[in-house]
Amino acid sequence: DYLRTVAHVMGIASFRVIVLQGIVGSMPWNALAYLTLWFQLLGFTDVQASLMKAVFSLGTSVGALLGGILGDIASALFPDSGRILVAQTSVVSGIPLSILLFNGLPQDAATKLVPWYGMTLAVMGLSVSWCAASCNSPVFADIVPPEMRTSIYAFDRAFEGAVGALGTPLVGLIAQHGFGMSLEKAYQSDESSRASIADAKALSDSLLVMLVYPWTVCLAFYMLLHLYYKKDRIKAKRQTTYLDATSPTALLELPASSLSARSFSLSARSFSST
């Protein structure tokens, strides 16, 4: 039964799209583990650097709630595309805000612009954190029968967590070999030294690469979801109707083609009888 569940879930196009999106989309979040070090290299005190990280985390917490609300509203207005559009809006907003944070705000006098950095982080955290609550989790619930929801969430977490974790070491590699940063000197350099600012610039460029490019790819994957979500959602409803009329394990006992035909027939008879 477990292997059939795996095969069934992996056969859903929307699931594959969201997992691929999640693998790429989780890399920026893992890359942001360097955020505290980046602020320290800019000359922020340990307290200021930790406060900046806390502001961003608070923004993402509120943003997740906001994303869920916006997703529900959009889904009511546009059932087939509303949630996806909200997620795409969130991803798009992260690109200019990342450019502003890591390239737009002056870094030579960053310690004099603490409120501006804090405000940018708050807005960024508030806007880039909608995807899971507004789209990914609700879509997972829509594209499989209720009996398989635990499995589909588990598979998603496993795939995204395992591969998306590469985002953190990639930032270090790009900063060192692509932009000339020395992590050893970065941790040892004086807060006011030119070396510290140079390393901060290298790290900011690396972070920008690991945010902008993955989010751009993420946006493309969400475009694909427009093609598959409606079809997979309707198919899941038919499967649920079939399960309700037979037994909880019937789905695992039938090939996908047989199930699709039989559940469609059952739905048609139910509709005609009403």
Q: Is the pTM of this model over 0.75?
A: yes
Indicate the number of domains in the chain. Answer: 1
CB neighbourhood size of 220 (10 A): 12
CATH number, domain with residue 141: 1.20.1250.20
Has residue 139 been placed in a domain?
A: yes
Q: How far apart are CA 143 and CA 157, in angstroms?
A: 17
Has residue 265 been placed in a domain?
A: no
pLDDT over 90 percentage in the chain: 48
Has residue 267 been placed in a domain?
A: no
Has residue 263 been placed in a domain?
A: no
Residue 167 has pLDDT above 80, yes or no: no
Residue range 201-251, pLDDT digits in tens: 888 999 999 999 999 999 999 999 999 999 999 988 887 776 666 655 555
Residue range 41-94, pLDDT digits in tens: 898 999 999 999 999 999 999 999 999 999 999 999 999 999 999 999 999 999
The least confident of 50-64, 153-167, 193-207, 254-268 is 254-268
**Considering only CA atoms, which of 143, 131, 153 is closest in space to residue 221?**
131
Token representation of residue 118: 């804090």
Residue 190 has pLDDT above 60, yes or no: no
Token representation of residue 222: 């969400």
- Can you say whether the dihedral through the CA atoms of 184, 206, 30, 6 is positive or negative? negative
Residue 104 has pLDDT above 80, yes or no: yes
Model confidence band, residue 195 (pLDDT cutoffs 50, 70, 90): low
More confident residue, 202 or 271: 202
Has residue 151 been placed in a domain?
A: yes
How many residues in the chain?
274
Rounded to 10 degrees, the C-alpha dihedral 105/109/110/114 comes to -100
Half-sphere exposure of 223 (CA within 13 A, CB side): 7
pLDDT of residue 240: 73
Residue 98 has pLDDT above 60, yes or no: yes
Q: How far apart are CA 21 and CA 88, in angstroms?
A: 11
Q: How far apart are CA 162 and CA 155, in angstroms?
A: 11
Q: How far apart are CA 225 and CA 248, in angstroms?
A: 28
| Cβ(179)–Cβ(202) below 8 Å | yes
Q: Which residues of 33-43 are buried (b: 16+ CB within 10 A; e: fewer)?
A: ebbebbbbbbb
Amino acid at 72: D
Model confidence band, residue 274 (pLDDT cutoffs 50, 70, 90): very low
pLDDT of residue 253: 52
Has residue 96 been placed in a domain?
A: yes
pLDDT of residue 13: 92
Residue 90 structural domain:
1-232
Has residue 18 been placed in a domain?
A: yes
Residue 129 has pLDDT above 50, yes or no: yes
Has residue 248 been placed in a domain?
A: no
pLDDT of residue 180: 76
The continuous run of DSSP H or E covering 201 comes out as helix 194-245
Q: How far apart are CA 95 and CA 149, in angstroms?
A: 32
